[in-house]
Amino acid sequence: MSTTTEPTTASTTGPTTELRTDPRAVARAALRACGVDPDRPAPPATSPTTGGAAFDVVSPLDGQVVATVPAAGAADVEAAVAAAHETWLRWRTVPAPVRGRLVRRLGDLLTEHREPLADLIGVEVGKIRSEALGEVQEMVDVCDLAVGLSRQLEGRTLPSERPEHRLSETWHPVGVVGVISAFNFPAAVWAWNAALALVCGDTVVWKPSERTPLVALAASALLERAAAELGMPAGLNRTVVADATGAAPLVDSPLVPVLSATGSERLGREIAPRVAARFGRAILELGGNNAAIVTPSADLDLAVRGIVFAAAGTAGQRCTTLRRLIVHESVADELLARLSTVYSGLRVGDPFDPATLVGPLFSAATHDAMRAAVDEAVAGGGSVVVGGERVAVGPQRAHYVRPAVVEVPAQLDVVRRETFAPVLYVLRYREFEEALALNNDVPQGLSSAVFTRDQREAELFTSVVGSDCGIANVNIGTSGAEIGGAFGGEKSTGGGREAGSDSWRAYMRRATTTVNFSRDLPLAQGVDFGSGAA
């Protein structure tokens, strides 16, 4: 293990780097480009707010307020749900391929506005430019997927045991889909849900994070524009910027049969029982504590590239961020030396600077959590290999930090918890079965990876006795999932699935139909109930 034992997150290194981006000016121009009034940024007219309260939007770039958005209260959210239900009564009868035209036009508008949308993501979240543009592209990709699905929402015809009978399953729109999204992917998570829900014949009520609502307002405005251009109903998506109290009707209303929520495990434990109490469906995308195993046969050049992006990308603020690295003892020293060199050279700074690879932490609370986690790991016998120090960029109200690598002697309690910050814990192993056990020995089960050139290890990792996560990758990191595959996890990650594969079924209800075209009435299972004549 490294000889460094003192946590370094409290210090600031190097001279202060200038922050050249003006977040407020960038946000105003981007809102205007997307059809939102920058002086009074608010949801479309289909989602009015009446409470009078407001949320300040603080950019992590400089810690300054860039906009103020009216807050929706519980009455506003309840009204939005009721209105969305009324709109659904009409929308469900529109043929699915026609509904697909709306999503196709939305995808076109997202493409046309990719730059201002990425600007808003950069200002609100602090993502570097390529990642902000990547989030917009993810929205476009899921629109493409949904358009294809609009002609493939297939049912099934099954053989009946009764002569001259047809047995079939069909899928129908379910109603209003509630979407609660988190700050770190302020628009893409909505698109995963909304694009599928709309082609499935549902309407949407979206509660974005009240800390990152601007890109939500922009995306909502573009969807309203798409509907207007095609002569389709207004208010198919209703956006409500609310806190947890204000959003209560979205969780509790029987008019919301499906609720998709992305956030912490605490959020899931709060809302899941409430949705279940009314027999609704909850799609939960909660915490991740993702691990990668590096075996003796691994291509270390490839592994380093995959590890660094997965662990340091988005400043460690993805649910799929790599948080645990399980390395065979024979390659651990070399791998740690390589990681130390790469981490030391990571450009931390203004996310609008093309040379930057790591932007700011989202908030002071994130920085405090990172410091506390590193301190706890060191107290438990761990050692800081590299990073963790604060980097001076612009005003001290912002929190720029070099991602940290911390070697630990065992899977400590702090390692088994998710810390939503760029801290990568390193553990050594001897036998592959030991590595698999470490991978699975956490409450969460979202993403995982193995770097190996041994086919047996790769097959074991992806088999029933391997990783217990919803995502199990080979020779690629834990983050950066594609739209075509279902996205989600197991255990305290929540168990929901979004995006590709057959995830669309979560937004519909299934009906089994038996049609008797015979002149008789045979009963299933050979039951004889006589002629039935009076």
Q: Give residue-wise pLDDT tens across range 231-262.
A: 999 999 999 999 999 999 999 999 999 999 99
Q: What six digits make up the tokens of 30?
A: 């981007």
Contact 398, 62 (CB under 8 A): yes
Given this model, what pLDDT does residue 5 score? 42
Given this model, what pLDDT does residue 12 score? 61
C-alpha distance from residue 489 to each of 257, 320, 325, 360 (Å): 21, 10, 19, 27
Given this model, what pLDDT does residue 3 score? 40
- Dist CA 308 CA 403 (whole Å): 10
Q: What six digits make up the tokens of 338?
A: 């390589």
Contact 349, 61 (CB under 8 A): no
The percent helix, strand, coil of the chain (3-state, each to 5) is 35, 20, 40
Read off the pTM: 0.95
- Dist CA 445 CA 289 (whole Å): 7
Contact 309, 479 (CB under 8 A): yes
- May I ask the CATH class of domain 34-285+502-510? alpha beta
Given this model, what pLDDT does residue 7 score? 42
- Dist CA 65 CA 124 (whole Å): 10
Domain with CATH 3.40.605.10 in the chain: 34-285+502-510
- Dist CA 200 CA 97 (whole Å): 10
- Dist CA 262 CA 181 (whole Å): 5
Which residue do the tokens 């599928």 mark?
A: 196
Given this model, what pLDDT does residue 6 score? 42
C-alpha distance from residue 497 to each of 97, 261, 284, 367 (Å): 23, 11, 8, 30
Domain with CATH 3.40.309.10 in the chain: 12-17+288-487
Given this model, what pLDDT does residue 13 score? 61
Contact 402, 453 (CB under 8 A): no
Q: What is the dihedral of CA 305, 306, 311, 317, to 10 degrees?
A: 120
- The CATH number for 12-17+288-487, chosen from 3.40.309.10, 3.10.20.440, 3.40.50.2300, 3.40.50.2000, is 3.40.309.10
Residue 145's nearest CA partner among 183, 177, 116, 188 is 188
Q: Where are the beta strands (DSSP E) in 224-359?
A: 237-239, 258-262, 281-285, 290-294, 322-328
Given this model, what pLDDT does residue 534 score? 47
- Dist CA 91 CA 223 (whole Å): 15
Given this model, what pLDDT does residue 8 score? 46
Residue 421's nearest CA partner among 447, 382, 380, 390 is 390
Given this model, what pLDDT does residue 279 score? 98
Residues of the chain with pLDDT under 70: 1-16, 531-534
Catalytic residue list: 285
